Structure 1
């Protein structure tokens, strides 16, 4: 299924109600919110801004102990939100001393968790608002949804690239695969070149070394043994004489046999001694060769094992590891070939997506500029800066006055201009969040422009919840629901009441907003006409 950016949320979400206690001059106040557009009205200084402050606290914005009222030791805001079939309750408490606390469904939480939860639920437009559209990622997502850019192939290629890179790393074991393979080959080759004849070779060589080191003496002594015991020697001659004397003497017959065996043994010793003497190599060069060979075998043992048997086993282990690495190398070669193709395809797809984004950006900018003109910002200019391989670095720059340089949306200084600018942008780039709050959107405007602002807010509320704080009857008249905030002065402390108005009460409030005279028949007639014209 194509991953085209759609403006519809995965689940319907709505702010249902909010309770505020000890916030500024509000001792206790509850507001039940409706779907569509809600206008929050009341006299200047009545406490409308405190309602926005309460919503700001719910979005995890900085809590100042200065907002705590005189009715207790802490300010508290609780709100109930519905997401699909689920309801959540979020709360924020601000004590006079210490850090603020956050709660989600009655359980203590962190402010950052509260921010994360409400990021795609509530957005506040105004001087100190919480506006996700100021973020580059949100601007890119909104652009893609508007232009219906299919990101399926791009995301699939990026995922495949990541999977292949992970598979390559897993196959090779680590990034130094080739170095380790080369080292294994060196070690195996070093043992192989030693050409160990057998596990006992070193012992045999040490025996040869002993012989060679004493070759002359050993040759002389072994020859002396041979000559002394030779068959025609004096010793054999004397034993022969004894043998002749005992022959025929039955009493000494056993000695005759023993003397015969003795002559045979002496003869064999003589012969063996001669052979040994003749086998001794009186060769200093051969001794040096044997000693060098022993030194080589000892060196190889120091590196790879206590015995030559252990060294041979290590060589076999190296050979098996090399085979495994070479097989992995073959597999990695195949993965690398696939990776190269994916990277090539990815570069091409990134170019396509970047082109689509750059093509759509001026069209979107023109549409936003048209809304800016309707919202009394006739000199408004909008430009998208698109950068990155796939154009993923998106930044909306605006200039709201003639001669003003383009600057990021987040740097628009005026609260009213910022609210109207983001309203224009939201009308074109309609995405999350589900609840939009506009404060100061009507600052510095009136007449026909106010009607256009109201019309735009009404249009925006067709698929989301919109709350607008307004002083203008033209804006309030477009609301589906109107909530009035009233401050009453008394001898003790001022009190704030929040009331959802019915049809007749709306006429009276709109009359007050139009003329300052809520009981004026002419004002009420005008108010009724205004409400009817904005239906």
Structure 2
């Protein structure tokens, strides 16, 4: 709630403090004293635009500072912290103080705002203000003006059962949307996925019969190189073999062999060993070389035997195999390893794609079930809203009868929205039939300024228990009302103050008498400048002010007796439960 508001340089107010606090505060004063400046000041603190001429003549700036008492662990404190501001704990720490400041320059009209000590855009004050204060005035935005707010108010009035149904509809709507989007997405992609499956089958059909092996292409190139150069290889190896073994005796040019030379060397060493034992190791070393040469010659001979019989008719087959692998690498390469990898991936992916038809059917079934559940939940919510709307219409219409609108009828219309959304399938409208024979119309259009405030008061009174707001401000809620109707307005404002802080700008004694806190706007004129100030009234001063409001004469004995009677009547209405 609002603790107090300090105002400097705003309109006719030079410097003043408005003490508020809990309960019902009535603000009265003479015409032109600046009562509406209080609502203007509050509007600035809530992020509203400064009206033309807001800064007092001669003042460099207008400054409005509001002190709120908030829950230090609540949403408001969290919003302030997000903006970089702070709330200050008071007392035992269960309550915190929040300072909100707005400044308007007198030279260029520029505005600055602070929230909990942090400089913020004025729009951020508006976001916070929606959680703190609702202003009902002839030119102000109304809390229950929009369809969304009216639907939320009806749901709150319907109680926990209706709100649980709304939450259930929201969950069902999200479930139905998600499953439908998934089914539609899968179905829309089905053609593309079927084309992908066909390509994968073609790829598998090309690779599977070939059965390529890792590194096979390199092995084929090497094998082809060997077979294609078989004669050259055979001649080279035969030459090497001849050098090791020597040529046979019938050759034209017999040549000594490496093996024979080494054996001769071994024979020479053996002769030397008879004279010197130190030559024995050298002889054994020559033996090893002779054995190695002999083994190498045998292996070369075997190579020659193989090359004479292999490769006959093989070259064409090898070339065809390599060309087949090259074709696969062009199709799914660039390397043979890539071909083999893609073959394995294609099989796995094809299993996934082949299951799409079944998945579409399953998703369609789930989506239909989710839609059925949504429609069922929405129908139950519509029934609950319709029942609550009937009751709310009757109770608000009854309140209007006590507020000098005996022929007015509030119609809470629950109509088919044409589709189901997260909030259900209903369009909720608060309509007013101001008198018999008139067609119900939106409350902001069907009521005059004074009537509109009374309609909103009736709604707030009925909704108070289900949909409370921390602070409610009514500007001229009693316009065009007097007598018994004015007393009923005062009584209902006092009842409303049991659940919310209520601030009312009024000119009627019957309304002000029911307040638990009474402040007066007083003006003074030195012949050149009019200045207003704010003062909280004690019991005696309050009786004088009620007398003035009744008769226009603060010292009228008749008016004072009537004022005492009004105050006694108001005292019978409990201020709080």
Q: Are residues 1:424 and 2:411 paired? A: no
Note the aligned Cα RMSD (angstroms).
4.7
8 Å contact 2:450–2:479 — kept in the other structure?
yes
8 Å contact 1:209–1:291 — kept in the other structure?
no
Distance in structure 2 (CA, Å) of the matches to 1:443 and 1:488: 26
User: CA shift at 1:50, angstroms?
Assistant: 0.6
User: CA shift at 1:238, angstroms?
Assistant: 5.5
User: CA shift at 1:288, angstroms?
Assistant: 9.1
8 Å contact 2:194–2:353 — kept in the other structure?
yes
Q: Are residues 1:371 and 2:358 paired? A: no
Q: CA offsets, 1:206-247, max 9 Å, x none?
A: 5788899x9xx999xx9xxxxxxxxxxxx999649989xxxx
8 Å contact 2:176–2:370 — kept in the other structure?
no
Structure 1 runs not aligned, ≥5 long: 1-13, 223-234, 244-251, 253-263
User: CA shift at 1:83, angstroms?
Assistant: 2.1
Distance in structure 1 (CA, Å) of the matches to 2:565 and 2:309: 138
Compared with structure 1, are the counterparts of its residues 161 and 378 closer, same or farther at alpha carbon in structure 2 (3 Å cutoff)? Answer: closer
2:131 match: secondary structure = coil
Residue 260 of structure 1 corresponds to none
Residue 199 of structure 1 corresponds to 214
1:359 match: secondary structure = helix
Structure 2 runs not aligned, ≥5 long: 72-94, 235-246, 256-263, 265-297, 572-577
User: CA shift at 1:142, angstroms?
Assistant: 2.0
Residue 118 of structure 2 corresponds to 107
Residue 408 of structure 1 corresponds to 442
Q: Are residues 1:297 and 2:328 paired? A: yes
User: CA shift at 1:406, angstroms?
Assistant: 3.1
1:120 match: secondary structure = helix
8 Å contact 2:224–2:315 — kept in the other structure?
no
Distance in structure 1 (CA, Å) of the matches to 2:503 and 2:147: 25
Which of 135, 151, 159 lines up with 1:124 in the alignment?
A: 135
8 Å contact 1:483–1:499 — kept in the other structure?
yes
1:141 match: secondary structure = helix
Compared with structure 1, are the counterparts of its residues 241 and 218 closer, same or farther at alpha carbon in structure 2 (3 Å cutoff)? Answer: closer
Residue 3 of structure 2 corresponds to 16
Q: Which moved more, 1:423-432 or 1:202-211?
A: 202-211
Q: CA offsets, 1:36-80, max 9 Å, x none?
A: 222111111111011111111111112235211124221111111
Distance in structure 2 (CA, Å) of the matches to 1:509 and 1:282: 122
8 Å contact 2:12–2:33 — kept in the other structure?
no
Residue 280 of structure 1 corresponds to 313
Q: CA offsets, 1:318-363, max 9 Å, x none?
A: 6667789999999999998777655533331221111110222122
Distance in structure 2 (CA, Å) of the matches to 1:427 and 1:17: 24
Distance in structure 2 (CA, Å) of the matches to 1:61 and 1:68: 15
Distance in structure 1 (CA, Å) of the matches to 2:120 and 2:187: 41
Which of 449, 458, 462 lines up with 2:485 in the alignment?
A: 449
8 Å contact 1:202–1:297 — kept in the other structure?
no
Residue 383 of structure 1 corresponds to 411
2:208 match: secondary structure = helix
Q: CA offsets, 1:92-124, max 9 Å, x none?
A: 111132531111122212222211222122111
What pairs with 1:5-84 in structure 2 (closer than 5 Å)?
A: 14-84=1-71
1:69 match: secondary structure = coil
Compared with structure 1, are the counterparts of its residues 144 and 160 closer, same or farther at alpha carbon in structure 2 (3 Å cutoff)? Answer: closer
Q: Are residues 1:532 and 2:568 paired? A: yes
Q: How many residues align?
A: 490
8 Å contact 2:157–2:463 — kept in the other structure?
yes
Q: CA offsets, 1:385-415, max 9 Å, x none?
A: 3335324542212233555543333445632
Residue 530 of structure 2 corresponds to 494
The TM-score normalised by the length of structure 2 is: 0.71
